Structure 1
């Protein structure tokens, strides 16, 4: 039996923001996430805020993202990007490293593992990965 009913209860908004900051810092530096990084704008600061706002509500906290953007649908904002299994897995790798880097308890990491995969897979819009060097692919952010 978990001591937490929601990940938000364990992490709080501050903890989620730390995870998101670490996530984008890791994505920015990790060679294995180069394709994912190229999908983003040079300045990752706005994305750190957006992801933290989204995850705060998604993890059981206040609906910060919905309050600001009016929707929590993640497929529509990502439809212009070529996201296949490789990009999904790069995202998951960066998130796992961020959870470890911010010292999230193993219980909470286990609680998040399957739901994070489902979210990452839900924005996948290609059956296979393609090279994101295509000039028609717009950067996120």
Structure 2
């Protein structure tokens, strides 16, 4: 049973199945778009662990169950990403994949644009080069 706020993006998107679908599409795009090659190279060959961690992080970040925190503790995103060279190009490639996934998986335009804006801020904050 979810304790998610009915007004949260998590709930408005459709809960766990919708967040999983978004994450799955995001990684499918990252794995196949030539324009995302540089960001793809920063990930392990097998994306299963990355998919699961992003799903768990987004669940809590979008207002649903705090799965990532329950398993790994505070995300400390910037610190966890410091070993990876993240510049404007990497940010833009990440956003390319997420934008397309959002366009394909989130029907509510206002919700989609709000989440897109929040993702942009988060992705920009991850830059370390």
Q: TM-score, normalised by structure 2?
A: 0.90
Task: List gaps (5 residues or longer) in structure 2.
Answer: 1-5
Distance in 2 (CA, whole Å) between partners of 1:78 and 1:112 is: 21
Higher relative contact order (CA 8 A, sep 6+): 1
More helix by share: 2
The equivalent position to 2:10 in structure 1, one of 8, 11, 20, is 8
Aligned length: 123
* Residues 1:57 and 1:88: Cα distance change in structure 2 (over 3 Å): same
Q: CA RMSD in A?
A: 1.2
Could you list the runs of 4 or more consecutive aligned residues of structure 1 that deviate by over 6 angstroms after TM superposition? none
Which secondary structure does the structure 2 equivalent of 1:93 belong to?
helix
Which secondary structure does the structure 2 equivalent of 1:104 belong to?
coil
- Whether the 8 Å CA contact 2:26–2:97 is kept in 1: the answer is yes
Q: TM-score, normalised by structure 1?
A: 0.83
The equivalent position to 1:40 in structure 2, one of 37, 40, 43, is 43
Q: Is 2:55 the counterpart of 1:52?
A: yes
Equivalence map 1:61-100=2 (5 Å):
61-100=64-103
